[in-house]
Amino acid sequence: MSPDDSPAPAATDALPPTRNEDKLASGDVLVIGILMVSAFTVLLNEMLLGVALPTLISDLDITPTTGQWLTTGYLLTLAILIPATGFLLRRFNLRTVFIGSLSLFSLGTVIAAVAPGFGVLFTGRLIQAAGTAALVPLLMTTTMRLVPPHRRGRTMALVTGLTAVAPAVGPAVSGVVISQLNWRWLFILVLPVVLAGLALGAAKLRNITTPEPVTLDVLSLVLSAIGFGALVYGLSTIGESTSGHAPVPPYLPILVGLLALAAFVRRQTVLQRSDNAFLDMRIFRTRAFTVPLLVMLVVALVGFGTTMVLPLVLTNVVGLTTFQIGLFLVPGGALIALVSALGGRVYDRYGPRPLAIPGSVIWTGALWFLSRANEDTGVTALLAAYLVLSASQALMWAPMTTAALSSLRAELYPHGTAAFNTAQQLAGGAGGAVLISAYTIGSHAKDAGALDLAQSVSASQAAFTTAAVIGCLAIIGTLLVRETAAAPQPPASPPSDASVNAAAVPKVSSATD
């Protein structure tokens, strides 16, 4: 690594924190709290239509592959736009980004609620995603700036747990609502909550950064849109290509996507010399950032993909109603929150490996169990497997995120959070595309339409077998994550700007990468 990219040394002569220094200021707690509640609300919508997919397929007369784009398109839009948040967080202050994001999300929610068909509903989902894109990077960057290093494990566990809980709770909420109301109520019920958050944020949020005179590189935005869009589109058409229904061979958009992403990376390496990069590539020079990022790619790909496939399995194989599916999924979200909160304290003391390594092994084992499920597998066994899957995923999600971001200097936080969230959303979109394609291929169905029981069992086993094979990569990744040093304690006096930057990497080993 170059000198600019090497981890800052831990402060070994710092004094223990006093009671007051160990607590966040009330104003900081309010800022983080408003951002967390707002982020949770918008993230709830990522997987909100998972359980509703069978209903939407029937009501809108679409195929499963088309229907999954209501979720995949949402995730893909996030993957395209999140790299731009590095620019947004530097160019505009906190209140401006927050108000603009929630206003855009509210508009998309209204459009989706009144949509007469798939096209308008899809448009509303894309606008929702555009409003969501900046909120999670804004939350993570703000948290990393306000929370002292010795408390980051606990606080980031809550923040990253929220980003995992919200998508997990989405299908549960969807199942309960769909069982009693029309699918439009999924959006109608969200709108008052979002508007209340918008009003509260406009009244209470304070700015904690100074806007910089940076410019948006349009070419970078275009390249990222082409790259991510073509890649996920190609992956999503693999299933259709086996039956001859894909408009183009999948390898063509995948190749275009990879070439565009290569051009995007090259463009950023040029722009970062003048500090105008859309996404600063220097964050990837540190192994302590890239290895956890790769683990999270696997976790997000499989996690989001299984969330889309599981409702289809519970409907077509087990025969549960949408209301029953909603109840089935509720404990998973609660368990993720609990495990994330407890894991934060373990992280602060021991680092990520004692959490992530056993978590990856148990997680992969749960996927293998689900790959063997059939019509004779009881609901209790499936619920147990789902809870194990949720808990073990939480053991990886928060530690990997905190370890990666803590390895960066403070001025690279916006780029680091943008890269991390882009990777997660791209992997989530790809995961839905890949596992739905595996589901379609595994069904051996020659024509579009409802699957019989044997086809549904074959489809679900193919999807979860694919997930389990991919999940094995997480085990390898967690074994490569570096051990962490003890968290440095804050100094007795307020730190200077230089010391704040030096403390930005409290948990990463200083071993040469």
For the chain, 513 residues long, give each residue's pLDDT as a single digit of tens.
444 444 443 333 333 443 445 566 777 788 888 888 888 888 887 767 767 877 888 888 887 767 877 877 887 787 677 777 777 877 888 888 889 999 999 999 999 999 988 999 999 999 998 888 888 788 877 887 777 766 766 777 777 667 667 766 777 788 788 888 888 999 999 899 889 888 888 888 777 767 777 777 888 888 988 887 788 777 766 656 655 566 778 789 889 989 999 999 899 888 888 777 777 888 888 888 999 999 989 998 998 888 888 888 888 888 888 778 877 877 887 788 788 778 877 887 888 889 999 999 999 999 999 999 888 888 999 999 999 998 998 888 878 888 888 888 877 877 887 787 777 777 876 787 788 888 888 887 666 556 778 888 888 999 999 999 999 999 999 999 876 443 333 433 343 333 333 333 333 333 333
State the DSSP code for 49.
T
Helices (H), 215-321: 218-236, 238-241, 251-271, 287-313
129 token code pair: 């995603």
Question: What is the Cα Rg of the chain in Å?
Answer: 22
From the list 191, 165, 8, 97, the residue with the least C-alpha distance to 418 is: 97
From the list 494, 497, 224, 174, the residue with the least C-alpha distance to 333 is: 174
pLDDT of residue 510: 33
pLDDT of residue 318: 86
173 token code pair: 């909420």
Helices (H), 82-189: 85-91, 94-113, 118-132, 135-146, 152-180, 185-188
pLDDT of residue 492: 37
* C-alpha span between 496 and 502 (Å, rounded): 10
* C-alpha span between 1 and 424 (Å, rounded): 25
From the list 425, 365, 359, 366, the residue with the least C-alpha distance to 396 is: 359
With 0-12 / 13-18 / 19 or more C-beta atoms within 10 angstroms meaning exposed / middle / buried, residue 231 is buried
- Residues whose CB is less than 8 angstroms from the CB of residue 143 and which lie 6 or more positions away in sequence, other chains included: 32, 35, 155, 156, 159
| Number of other residues whose CB lies within 10 A of the CB of residue 237 | 23
Whole-prediction pTM value?
Answer: 0.68
- Is residue 264 within 8 Å of residue 422, measured between CB atoms? no
